[in-house]
Structure 1
């Protein structure tokens, strides 16, 4: 019998946890069945969910030997600042479901480990509180705020102004989820978000009034999709903020080029962790196509299925500027709060350094090309 989320307030790392896979195994024993389905489930038959991890595993590394590695490091530059390493925490909603310290614990761990943090619009912690946790840390990574474009533009503008005032350094606009995917596992488990866990940063927004439908009309296409964002909304968002705007969920080369035309400061190749459209290709497969379309005119990041430091190195070798990690962070959070998240991020950083040393990479600039076996 599993406990209710966070009822035992775990803060000590379980014995025997030495990998992200171990974290996942232990988190399964901590979390309620329905919460587990919400965090770990994907859309429909979960083909894309499985493909994300498998795709990184099938890319092979081709090591070089006897190369000078003394003084090597994982540092890199992006959006005008130097990062200690190319690992960010992806935006994930309602982290209070995993642990009562929620996004505060994740933020504390990310700041301490020099990892970037992308806070979800649907966070269960106020964005100002998260910023106060992260910003004083001298060696912290970047602090970004994720958005969904809502029909209430007045509320959206106020939310963006709050993020700017709090000290967030970029906006990440999710563009690949105008509607929720058919998440069968979640529905089978009967997941219902507890009433006391809410998207606190969205308090006060005005939801659009449902339209009256004629016989035969679709609730999705004739009502909900009348509010779906378009490229014009991207231009509007850029017009109301001084922060760089990255688009998350761009996977088609034509969309990548359109995003740059609209002034996007960067792209995140993502299939929403396999939670929206099933049978999409894995992000490791999609990344090279987007990079080719962008042709170096903007940074391209990637998420989805990153479970090892070797995966991080492979992403960098393909040409990514950085990676985002999602579910493993939630597993660490469920297992041991901030300590668990910090352990997940430390494992990835350590494994990345090991992989670099064993493939002859003194810095991440050495990664592209020579690491991948010819295919």
Structure 2
């Protein structure tokens, strides 16, 4: 199959990573289009829970180009402020975003890559995949999960403690999402917070600024052949943002070990201890949303796409951007995605030269 609209680069995804790529493509004068499955600007930020705030100040949360403005009355901007910033970033740099357009597959088509969507075909000399992870939530394979008769939802489905007021809620997960949602529920529900290992809180004075510096120091060490500093993981797992500190200091954020199984209305630990539950919220992470690249056969034996920087080793015309440290240190963050986006775009532009 051939035909369809033609451009030099198709960027798949119009969230923060896609916009960062678009900024650099625009600066270099590359012909490109951004295809976004969402109906409005803002990427995943328009779908998060009500109380979510960044854990970096605005000045440490900017995409390349225009700095994020400070939100009045807030040290750490809320999700709505981020959506507004991304919307303005898209408008300011006149980025050619088409939405809602869902990419169904990317195929080799001679000297081009064929991008099939629910609204037509594109041919491109390169593809930058920037779809993130929010759209592919991961659920733990816990025995009895299908037998549980209460409410089950993942992080992506949580919005507000009002939805669970007075209920017995189990929150599963020891990362930032688990801690923040547990803190959100700590004063309005009968909360049980469970984690695979004892939670590791970062020092109260550490926020996104320190985390970005740690990620940057790790990248520089690896680039120069020095000892791996461990980056962000060496500091802890949970940023003690104000709501988390409040719940923790009030004694309402104490983690229990992971339970063994679920039954109809109960979670059951290995020693037989039980706790009744009306709802279980799985804050168990995400996987990269990369099903659109399946036709290219890039996944190895363990399901991982091998990259050099952001470039797919087995298909150099494809770059992966914003999926985590394996596609660039801190590339899943607002401030961290700028550098790998710049490098990916320079690499793509060099192909055309």
With the shorter chain as reference, the TM-score category is under 0.3
More strand by share: 2
**TM-score normalised by length of structure 1:** 0.25
**TM-score normalised by length of structure 2:** 0.26
